[in-house]
Structure 1
Amino acid sequence: MIGFRAYGISAGRAVLGCAFLALVATACSPAEEGAPAASDVTVVWGGGLFDGTGDAVVPNPGIVMAEGRFQAVDAVAASEAVAAGASVVEVGEGEVILPGMLDLHAHFHLDLLGEGRVDETTVYPALFLANGVTSTFPNGEASPHKMRALQERLQSGEQVGARLLRSGPYFGSSRVGWDPFFTAEEVHRQVDALVEEGVAGFKAKTIRAPQLEALIERAHYHGLSVTGHLGSGFGGSVNPRDAIHMGIDRIEHFMGGDAMPAVRSAYASFEEMTPDMPEFEHIVQLYLDEGVNYNATMSAYGYSGGRDPDIFEPFADEMSYLTPYARELVEERLAAEPRQVSEQFERIYNVKQQLVKRFYDMGGGHLITMGTDHPSTGEFFSPFSVHRELALFVKSGIPEAAVLRFATRNAAEALRVDDDLGTIEAGKIADLVILGANPLDDIRNTRDVRMVFKDGVAYDPAELLESSKGRIGPQGPEDLPDFAAVDVPPPGGE
């Protein structure tokens, strides 16, 4: 098992202070023979609670967890469990509990060598968890074989990290080795093979219309959702408007519609859109009418643009997680090739804030989800990007409570996993995050993660972070082949 310490709270009392976490063991009466052991039940007591269903932080009545699920969110049930000898986690005054977050565009991609993207599976899962993200949807896997192996390690307990809700590889020309002339039957076969592997949904990118229709049809046959990074219709791409009519469930990045005509790229059109354009309001209304989710991925454009200091302030030393050799490679590259600011992406970054706010104001708040979309070249890493994305939603003028729901309830509903995830309610999987301060007062308080529960097991974020330092990337020249992109064979193929 990876050397991260994951502790289920033993029969005792956990005390969460304002600046530290300590576990204090106390005695407990032994359970009667045949009865559930008291140590199998944990009560989270005190602090404030944002459960994902409303707009407010309320006094926490007591959260009872057992067998990996929330058993009750109720003062009487919590008191009875404590009296019976349950373990207790005390949350300090001013600290706030919220549901474990879901990142629906959680790229594990690295490109440290300038030779294409590969998925980082050694450290990223623990870093996501340490940042309060208990579930990730990769939204297109660069290395599906590595991601499948990671999912198996996470499920078996061999590796500690955020839950992996796999997307499988891209469906479209963004997959290395994709054939743009795959038949509908071949698309169906690949979907079936990925369902057998246990994927949670699918991602289309640079796909032709007939193949997208086949993907949506077969995914829905299996009860799974499809999201898409689509275009304007230019160059044979699919406009999100047309994908919505096909039945797609979620759209990434660009809203689409008549404001993005097929005579030019989506990027060129998007940077000139305004929130008062009739064409923009028409496409938003289509999302509302059809119940299609929108994953804005706003901070990704700032990453390639001017890196707004309000959002990209250095709240963590992210490069410290690189191996010494990888850090040397990255620093040499940065010194030799100063970063080029994309003026187009900077314009999109600014425009998108206005458009997303208008989408929200038109009644689309229940359809917006949180996705970071931060493939890394070595300076910033995806697991930390959740805090940047949340802060940017708030900077756009959206209330903090709504923004937290984007990353919790909305995300779970969009991926069709809301029976188990997204809110703190009895019967759901016991994923929660304890923050040092109220994120409704300042959304940047999501950075102050004091404890994380996943499947009812508690993790110390500080320990996860410390154990991850110096581990991303190649250890030396002999490892370089493992960090260069390779062709992705068709799922279920030879």
Structure 2
Amino acid sequence: MALSLILGVFVSSTVAAAQDLVVQGGWLFDAITDEVTRNPGIMISGGRILEMGPANSDFGGAEIQILSLGEDEYVLPGIIDLHAHYNVNLLGEGRSDEVEINTLVYLANGVTTTFPAGEYNPERLLRAREEIDAGVRPGPRIIPSGPYFGRSRPGWEPMTGEQIHTEVADWVRRGVRGFKAKGADPQTVRALVEAAHRHGVTVTGHLDSGFRETTNAADAIRMGIDRVEHILGGVALDPTQPAYPVWVKVDTASAAFRETVRMFLDHGVRFNATITAPVYFTELEEGFDYWVDEREFFTPYVQQLVAEREPRQRNALMSELYWAMRRTTKAFYDAGGGDLITLGTDNPSRGEFLPGFSAHRELHAFVLAGIPEAAALRIATINGARAIGMGDILGTIEPGKLADLFVVRGNPLEEITNTRNVQHVIRGGELHDPSGLLQRARGRIGPTGPDDHAGW
């Protein structure tokens, strides 16, 4: 079964009905072209974009909503985060998926589709997706990724190929629409890719160099993996050493780097860059300011714990990795890989930052790396949709697509950080007030006191 078919059936069967809506005025970046144009009018019905142009008298009825935009407001496709962690590690005792408040924060930031890229509590994510799609509560689309395959899964024990095929089939039956390998040996990756593709879903991988039975991206690409996280890796790495200490010194002009890039291009393998991910483990870089104080979304108890921590220290490897990821992502873009790059935040929160906001930091990082603003927006939208087989229904603003979009104040092609100024969010044709969503989220993430640590 083709990936687009299985995902198309999955999405269309769960879109909740929404009131007819017209978005008029302002400006439009549709992610089809690299330009901003006058918004001709967006007519939305049944959760989809029905038509572009002025609303006619035959459209809608007495219950129609009209959203009139100002001269300094811009409509963009909803952001698609393909490394959208819901898990948090607030007590330093391990990660747990938090799906009640993170969903509000993602949506309030214009992130309308999330792929968690590995889950610690997969049943929790499946329930959240069902509730959101049924209209019980607001949130982004959740494309479930199921448990990790590899040593990053708590209690992981090596599995046979037959066991992997059986488990994948079960998770797909329950609603998982993609998988992630992390800390997996080549045998596990090969079986996971074969099993996932049999069911028409994708596999991404947090890979390594081949050191100590890890899997190198070059081998994973030959196996048919769909997407690679964090670094391109490949033949530019030394299989006798861990990946990151080598990658921070990689020469983008070297034959090994060029060969690795060529493998991605030739096989159409996507690259989820997660440029900002290392910064959460070292000193802060440009873009890590608070335009909204994210610490306020945690309980007062968690805020106190965070305030009492030792000051953030520089981690040399993580700082060097951030800069290496910036320059190698730009080199991949310059080599023709622009359509293969996707956006992922990879922020398992420790109480300082939240991944919904971090989507804007990742957009900023692309531009800081030298990628044009329009290309960065396409990376965050249509590239992500295509990477998960949903490019025919998500990622651009055009008739027939699901009505997932958001409105910002200020032209993002002139200043990419204008995407932070979210004024309105539309998910499946339903209009949301981002300030209201954030108000509902404040002070609610994490335990309330020392007697409330269970589950966190």
Same fold (TM over 0.5): yes
Cα separation, 2, equivalents of 1:153 and 1:341 = 41
- 2:397 aligns with 424
Structure-2 residue corresponding to 1:324? 300
Q: Map of 1:86-485 to 2, 5 A cutoff?
A: 86-180=64-158, 182-308=159-285, 310-332=286-308, 334=309, 337-483=310-456
The question of whether the paired residues in 2 share the 8 Å contact of 1:48 and 1:57 is answered with yes
Q: How many residues align?
A: 438
Task: Give the superposition deviation at 1:282.
Answer: 0.9
Matched residues in 1 for 2:58 and 2:27: separation? 20
Q: What TM-score does the superposition give when structure 2 sets the normalisation length?
A: 0.94
SS class of match (2:453): helix
SS at match of 1:79: coil
Which secondary structure state, in structure 2, belongs to the residue aligned with residue 185 of structure 1? helix
**Do 2:282 and 2:312's aligned partners in 1 also have CA atoms closer than 8 Å?**
no
Cα contact 1:274–1:351 (8 A) shared by 2: no
> How far apart are 1:329 and its partner, in Å?
2.2
Distance, in Å, in 1 between the alignment partners of 2:140 and 2:129 is: 10
Return the offset for 1:142.
1.4
Q: Which moved more, 1:44-53 or 1:395-404?
A: 44-53
Matched-pair contact (CA < 8 Å) for 1:41–1:81: no
Gaps spanning 5+ residues in structure 1: where?
1-38, 484-494
Partner of 1:67: 46
Deviation at 1:303, TM superposition (A): 2.3
Amino acid at match of 1:433: F
Indicate the SS of the match to 1:227.
strand
Instruction: Name the SS for the 1:46 alignment partner.
Output: strand
SS at match of 2:339: coil
- Alignment partner of 1:403: what SS? helix
Provide the secondary structure at the position in 1 that maps to 2:70: coil
Residue identity matched to 2:41: G
Distance 2:30 2:57 in 1: 21
Matched residues in 2 for 1:219 and 1:357: separation? 30
Give the match's secondary structure for 1:273.
Answer: coil
User: CA 1:156–1:478 in structure 2 vs 1: closer, same or farther (change >3 Å)?
Assistant: farther
Displacement of 1:257 in angstroms is 1.8
Q: CA deviation at 1:324?
A: 1.1
1:16 aligned partner: none
Pairing partner for 2:31 from 43, 49, 52: 52
Write out per-residue CA displacement over residues 404-460 of structure 1, whole angstroms, 9 at most, x where no aligned residue.
011100000001111221111111111110111111010000000000000100000
Shift of the 298–83 alpha-carbon distance from structure 1 to 2, 3 Å rule, reads closer
Distance in 2, Cα, partners of 1:305 & 1:338: 11
| Unaligned ranges ≥5, structure 2 | 1-17
- Deviation of the 1:353 alpha carbon: 1.0
Would you say the 8 A contact 1:94–1:437 is kept in 2? yes
Query: For the residues of structure 2 that align with 1:89 and 1:381, how far apart are their CA atoms?
Result: 29
Cα distance, 1:262–1:72 mapped onto 2, change above 3 Å: same
How many Å separate the matches in 2 of 1:186 and 1:426?
43
SS at match of 1:366: helix
Contact 1:43 / 1:82 at 8 angstroms: preserved in 2?
Answer: no
SS in 2 for 1:91: strand
Q: SS state of the match for residue 128, structure 1?
A: helix
Distance 1:80 1:50 in 2: 26
Sort the Cα spacing of 1:381 and 1:83 in 2 relative to 1 into closer, same or farther, 3 A: closer
Task: Using the aligned pairs only, state the percent identity.
Answer: 46
In the alignment, is the contact (CA less than 8 A) between 2:145 and 2:178 conserved in 1? yes
Q: Show CA shifts across 1:170-202 (max 9, x none).
A: 11110001112x100100111011101111211
